[in-house]
Amino acid sequence: MRPQPGDRLRIDGRASVQFGGDRALTFRVVSVGPELTHLGWIWLTGYVLDRRGLATAKREIFVQLAGLRPPVNIPTPSRARVTRPYAARNDQGDSGAARHGSGVRARADAR
């Protein structure tokens, strides 16, 4: 199995002794090193993923191809919701003030 950018992998002691035991990690590949290395080994650049599937650290690792495994039950993080800035919203109840960008000032003056 030769990994591709975007792949998620379980990196543990089978891939390299430095990731054995509690040092195993879930990894999202960003790039695969093109260099010729020791037979069966490869350089990977990517991100360590937490239990929610969010990137926590960028790393470059040297691992055995034969030891790479798919991850176990790592969710794909959802995209953040895009919201409009407060002053640009028209549903705040002060109609004209929100449309002209003065909604915050108008509310403060109304008190």
Q: Which of 45-49, 68-72, 84-88, 94-98 tops mean pLDDT? A: 45-49
Q: Residue 39 domain-assigned? A: yes
pTM, two decimal places: 0.64
* DSSP characters over 59-76: EEEEEEGGG-B--SSPPP
93-103 pLDDT tens trace: 555 555 555 55
> Is residue 97 situated within a structural domain?
no
- Per the rule left: phi > 0, alpha: psi between -120 and 50, beta: everything else, 93 is left
Q: Please indicate, yes or no, if residue 49 is contained in any of the structural domains.
A: yes
Domains in the chain: how many in total?
1
Does 57 map to a domain? Answer: yes
Q: Is residue 107 part of a domain?
A: no
Is residue 32 situated within a structural domain? yes
Is there a domain that residue 40 lies in?
A: yes
Domain limits for position 63:
8-67
Instruction: Calculate the average pLDDT of the chain.
Output: 80
